[in-house]
Structure 1
Amino acid sequence: MPQPVSWKRRLKNFLFIDLKTVAGEPSLLSVDPRLQRQWEEKSRYFKHDDELSPAGWYDRRASFFAEFGKIICIGVGGLFFDDDDKPHLKVKLLSNDDEVPLLTEFLAIVDRYPPGELTLCAHNGKEFDFPYLCRRLMANGLPLPPALQISGKKPWDIPHRDTLEYWQFGDKRHFVPLDLLAAVLNVPTRPLEWTGDRTSEVYYREHDWPRIEKYARDSMVMLVQVYLKMVGAPLVADEHIVMSD
């Protein structure tokens, strides 16, 4: 197993992120008519055991698509080490009903890192979190930071890490939720309360921010611990996990 001092160096300028997304509107009836027509066309190609109307599909799946969804919470996490080289994790949750100030706050965090030196890490980040962030930044007229200027780049020119990609071992069809991966790897974290497709329901029907933020915090901790387990680094002790204001 690598020595802790080597992990201190390898995890410098390393930021874990996790998005919580919801449908852009409470229901399909609230969506701009132009986008409604686009959703109705798109939903015709969805395949599932349940036969749902376009409105039903919107409630269930619009949050997965940046063209029809929005980000309500971004978890960010960074590792640091004490004098005994024990890892500590600092987690910050950015949450807002209004996506523009939320994304602006995220950009302010990213801008603290030297240009070209930031590495992001997420679960399914290369197919979801990173492109979703880019699309929502562009849709809101916000600039793409250097770390997210990834369009058109070759895979080996993008430094970001993806725990799902590690687990796939080249099998791009194989999807494993983060919660299942933590269980398979025997990572001692709390099971997540729900899966991402239920976030819209909790947000629009209950608007329960404490519950959403607890879900986001648990996801962030699980992501970090899974990554550390996969690369053979020591896990973070519970007492060394800090929530940042």
Structure 2
Amino acid sequence: MADFFDQLNDILFLDIETASLTEKYEELPERIQEEWLRKERLIQTEEVIHEPGYLYFDRAGIHAEFGQVVCVGVGYFQWKKKDKKLAFRSKCYANDDERELLLEFKALLEKKKWILCAHNGKEFDFPYLCRRMLINGVALPEPLQISGKKPWEVRHLDTMELWKFGDYKHYTRLELLASVFGIPSSKDDLDGSQVNTTFHLEKDVEKIKKYCLRDVEVTARVYMAMHPQSDDLEIEIIHLDESKKDHKD
């Protein structure tokens, strides 16, 4: 049990929220507009003729070439050996300047030899961060550098992959895992499909940050549920942005 919690201290749980690069398709640089239309033809499923760029607002945010990172939520456990309690410290990075946001996140990754963990992180969060960093001229920090590394040298965990148990065709939403493990939902007043509207039209970054932090906590709790240690283990949630504590079981 002690070894598990010692290793747990090195895991950085994270979640990113993304939005389209601009509010409107017409605001993109001309070359990028042309590339989006090519992408749009590949992803459209209707035979109805629409105006060019009609899918941009709803779909661009999930593609790193046409989107941007609007916030990065992170969290990590601290094992209190004396009290046999866990503290989970979380924080959200957000900045009007995406490059500055990514630089702040990079500085955190360079503080220690983190193991990164996200839900569907290997398919989305990790590659998206890498692509946006390079587009913004930010050198990749060591935890995100996978080129030339052997599989066992890449310190990436993915709760969705862990739940597959080798079933490569299986996709499971984080919300479904939270439901089956009895973990409170992170989708109370916002979900991923509403982030673009909340960011561009409502200008409510704080709402997105709170949603992002809840996803980070849910991911961490799902990871713990996959590695049961004690039914009565208490987890103290500490939001570093708010400088206040919230006790939860």
TM-score scaled to structure 1, two decimals?
0.89
Aligned residues: 238
Contact 1:79 1:87 in 2 (8 A): yes
Partner of 1:109: 108
Shift of the 37–190 alpha-carbon distance from structure 1 to 2, 3 Å rule, reads closer
Partner Cα distance (2:98, 2:239) in 1: 22
Contact 2:175 2:185 in 1 (8 A): no
Amino acid at match of 1:12: N
Q: Please list the CA deviations of residues 59-114 of structure 1 after superposition, one character each: whole Å capped at 9, or x if unmatched.
A: 1111111100000100010100222121110001101121011011111111110x
Q: Please list the CA deviations of residues 12-65 of structure 1 after superposition, one character each: whole Å capped at 9, or x if unmatched.
A: 321111101100111111111101100101111114469665423111111111
Shift of the 242–171 alpha-carbon distance from structure 1 to 2, 3 Å rule, reads same
Shift of the 59–183 alpha-carbon distance from structure 1 to 2, 3 Å rule, reads same
Partner of 1:94: 93
Structure (1/2) with the larger helix percentage: 1
Matched position secondary structure for 2:211? helix
2:167 is matched with which residue: 158, 168, 171? 171
Partner of 1:135: 131
Give yes or no for the alignment of 1:45 onto 2:74.
Answer: no
Shift of the 111–36 alpha-carbon distance from structure 1 to 2, 3 Å rule, reads same
Give yes or no for the alignment of 1:15 onto 2:12.
Answer: yes
Partner Cα distance (1:50, 1:192) in 2: 35
Partner of 1:229: 225
Contact 1:187 1:229 in 2 (8 A): no
Displacement after TM superposition at 1:175 (Å): 2.0
Partner Cα distance (1:48, 1:90) in 2: 43
Q: Please list the CA deviations of residues 143-198 of structure 1 after superposition, one character each: whole Å capped at 9, or x if unmatched.
A: 11111111354433312100010122223332222112211222244545333232
Partner Cα distance (2:89, 2:47) in 1: 41
Structure 2's unaligned 5+ residue stretches are 242-249
Identity %: 38
Matched position secondary structure for 2:19? strand
Partner Cα distance (2:197, 2:15) in 1: 19
Shift of the 107–43 alpha-carbon distance from structure 1 to 2, 3 Å rule, reads same
